Each structure stands twice: as C-alpha cells, then as structure tokens.
Amino acid sequence: MPLLVMKFGGTSVADLDRIANAAKKVQKEVDRGYDVIVIVSAMSGKTNELVKWVSDTSTFYDAREYDAVVASGENVTAGLLALRLQEMDIPARSWQGWQVPILTTSQHGAARFVDIPRDNIDQKFAEGMKVAVIAGFQGVSPEGRITTLGRGGSDTTAVAFAAAFGAERCDIYTDVDGVYTTDPRIAKKARKLDKISYEEMLELASLGAKVLQTRSVELAMRYKVRLRVVSSFEEIDETSGTLVCDEDEIMESKAVAGIAYSREEAKITLFTIEDRPGIAAAIFGPLADAGVNVDMIVQNISEKDYDDDHPGAVTDMTFSCPIDQVARAKKAMEDARAQGLINYDELIIDDDVAKVSVVGIGMRSHAGVAATMFKALSRENVNIKVISTSEIKISVLIDRKYMELAVQALHDAFELEKA
C-alpha cells in the first residue's frame, strides 16, 4: 500500500469538533487507498498550560520531569483521534514516542532524532491497521526516559516519519492554506505559492516565517521528503496548498520568491576593539558558549589609533541577535573583557530594530536584486543599518517602526503578486 504522512497542528485539533474534522480528512486518504501515519500536536494552548504548571511547581525543575509532563499533551490528542477513527470503523491505533520507539538523544527539552525503527508499525499495518496516530514532539532517550524535541517539534516528527517510512508525501495541516509570498496581514497583495523549493522555504522559516519549523525543512531537504502545507479548515484536492519540493520540480523561478521579516531583533556594537588576527574568535566564541544566536555581522574598516589606550589598529564590530538573548550577549562580552580576552571602549545595544529579507533561488541567475531592494527602501526613506547576503537571500536591519512599510514596498517592487 502507498503510505502518506499527515500532521495536524494544535489549532487543527483544538477541541473535539476539530479532532472529528481531522478524522474526516484522514478517512478520505484511507478511502483513496493509503495507509496513513498521522502525527498530532497537543490541543491548542495545552503545551503552554503544561509548561506553566511545571514552572509554578518548581522554579529549578528537573528537565526529565519537565519532558514527562509536557509530552502528555500530544498523548491525549493521539488517543482521542484514534478513538474517533475507530468510531468511524477505521482500524486505528495511537502510539506514544516510546512505543514506536522514536529513539532520540538525551538532551531533554531539545532532543534530536537518532532512529525510528519501522518494525512495530509495519507489523500492525500488515495485520490490518490502516492508521497509526503518533504523538508528535517526543521520543525516548537511551536511558529510557521520555524526551521532547523543542517547540514546533511535531513538524519535525512528521518529516522524520515520512523519511523513515518512504512516504509518498508529508501533508502539514495548519490554520493557513499554504505558503505566501509574505504575510497577508501586512501585504494585502500577498499571493499563495503553488510550489517553493526546500532552500527557499528553509531561508523563509529561519528568517521569521512561521508556517513550518526550521528543523523540519532541514530534514525534508536532506531526505528529499515532499512536503505540502494545507489548511485544516478547507476542502482539499491535489491542487491545494503549497508543495515544498526539490528545485528540479519547479520549472522557472522568479528572482524573489518571498519576503520574510522578524520584529524581535537587536543590534549590538562593540566600539574600538583591536584589529588583529583572532579578534573575531575572541568575540564570537564566548557568544556561542553563552547560547547566543548571532546572525548579521559587520566589521568596520580599521583605523590607526596611536593614543596610550590603543597603540595599534582598531575597528568596530556590529552583530545582531534575537532580542530575548541580548542580556546573555551583554554578559558574555563583559565577562570576556574582564578575562582579558577582548577590550572595547563601549558596548551599544539597539533593541528597536527589525530584520527584513528577500529570498529566492532565482537570485542565482537574475542580476539587480540588491539594487531593486535598496532603491525600493530608499524611495520610502527607510535607512539600512546592516546588510547580510547569501546566495539566495538579502537581509537588512532597519528601524522597527518601518518594518511593515518595508515589507509592502519590497513586495510591490518585485511584483510578487504576479504568478
């Protein structure tokens, strides 16, 4: 039998009526002749509630017990969906992570997949089971403890199962009907994409698009899992949603596929640091050790400074990071200076910035993307603070108050409303 993986997010299984709706969508795929593996999230809001219960019970909680509590939300959903399917005379069974077993590392709260043995589920399919409902977001460590994969881990679970079982496709059911050229709440002309490449989707996800979790796209790209993003609340056919696939499946790519943004950014500048070999390692090593996710980096041109404090060449270093990591970044730099690893005159934090990015595999073969981007921002008097580029993206850091204006201007400049 061909096999399909279906994943339902929290809003898609938020209550018993929505679980019944999800069951109907599973039934349609069974009627089409598929064996189905369904990955479910916890009911909407349940994970946050469980996390709060843990925090309210224990300030410095045991991470193993945190995982045991927080993973229970997906277990409830899996059992309820299996029951609903059984009521519809569909042979279904729920599976918790340890029952599969989904083998992971021991890093509680942020575990990674090691292996998903197929034997148990394959045997049940051979015995007549049509649907395996798997609790997403969880697995089991080598020590036999329940682990969780981090927020958004159910997307990654779905892709991992699709890869392990050689599924024809992995359908991600969510509260939107596909991947758009940008956020429709900001740009009314935003257009739903029929197809998008793994690389483009990975960039958009990592740059702030919330449709798919970044790790899930990485995994899909590595194992060539065809992903489809569809709505839980609409009738679905073969043309529905957005297919995330290999670049070869896309006939012709526009220079830019989409615009991503992130409000929660901060810019940190170290003024008057030594310009010498190893200075970058001395700065970004401690930041990495502190768990700071550095993104955009700019080093100014060196200046000669021959006063008593700076007897050699000096420069400035600017980098961006998520706003919730600013305190860690500042402490890491202050500690590095106290230890004599680096020296700087001043550390300035700008926590009122946003990142806006244009993404597209077509940039490889289209000239002038940067010029179009910068002209569009200039026409709106949007000042660029930092620029970062890769083969298929250009990101800029701007004042946060101009973020929505910038997104709209860029969407218009690249005519993304046109197919």
The mean pLDDT values, 10 residues at a time, for the chain of 419 residues are 94 96 96 97 94 92 95 97 98 97 94 95 96 97 95 91 96 91 92 92 82 89 94 86 89 84 94 92 95 90 57 85 94 96 94 94 87 96 93 94 96 92
Q: CB of 210 within 8 A of CB of 176?
A: no
* 124-164 per-position pLDDT tens digit: 999 999 999 999 999 999 999 999 998 778 999 999 999 99
174 annotated binding-site participant: yes
- The pTM (predicted TM-score) of the whole model is 0.85
CATH number of 260-413: 3.30.2130.10
Give the distance from CA 299 to its chain's centroid: 28
* Residue indicated by tokens 């990654």: 156
**According to the annotation, is 74 in a ligand binding site?**
yes
User: What pLDDT shows up at residue 306?
Assistant: 47
Give the angle subtended at the CA of 46 by the CAs of 43 and 49, to the nearest 5°: 175
Rg of the chain over Cα atoms, rounded to whole angstroms, equals 24
The response to whether 47 counts as a known ligand-binding position is yes
Does the annotation list 7 as a binding residue? yes
Which positions ≥6 away from 371 have C-beta within 8 Å?
none
Whether a cis peptide bond, with omega within 30° of 0, leads into 101 is yes
| Nearest C-alpha neighbor of 200 from the set 364, 359, 386, 89 | 359
- Is 124 annotated to bind ligand? no
In a 10 Å sphere around its CB, with 0-12 CB exposed, 13-18 middle and 19+ buried, how is residue 36 labelled?
buried
Per-residue pLDDT at 251? 72
Taking each helix axis as running N to C, give the angle between helix 214-223 and helix 198-206, from 0 to 180 degrees, rounded to the nearest 10: 160
Determine whether the annotation assigns residue 185 to a binding site.
yes
Measured CA to CA in angstroms, residue 100 lies from 116, 192, 401 at distances of 7, 36, 48
Which positions ≥6 away from 370 have C-beta within 8 Å? 389, 394
Six-digit token pair at 103?
Answer: 């083998």
The domain segmentation of the chain, as residue ranges, is 3-175, 260-413
Pick the CATH number of 3-175 from 3.40.50.720, 3.40.1160.10, 3.90.550.10, 3.40.50.2300: 3.40.1160.10
210 is an annotated ligand-binding site residue: yes
Would you say 211 is a known binding-site residue? yes
- 350: annotated binding-site residue? no
Q: Is 77 annotated as a binding residue?
A: no
Tell me if residue 323 falls in helix, strand or coil: helix
Q: What is the pLDDT of residue 307?
A: 53
Are 207 and 396 in contact, with CB atoms under 8 Å apart?
no
pLDDT at site 309: 55
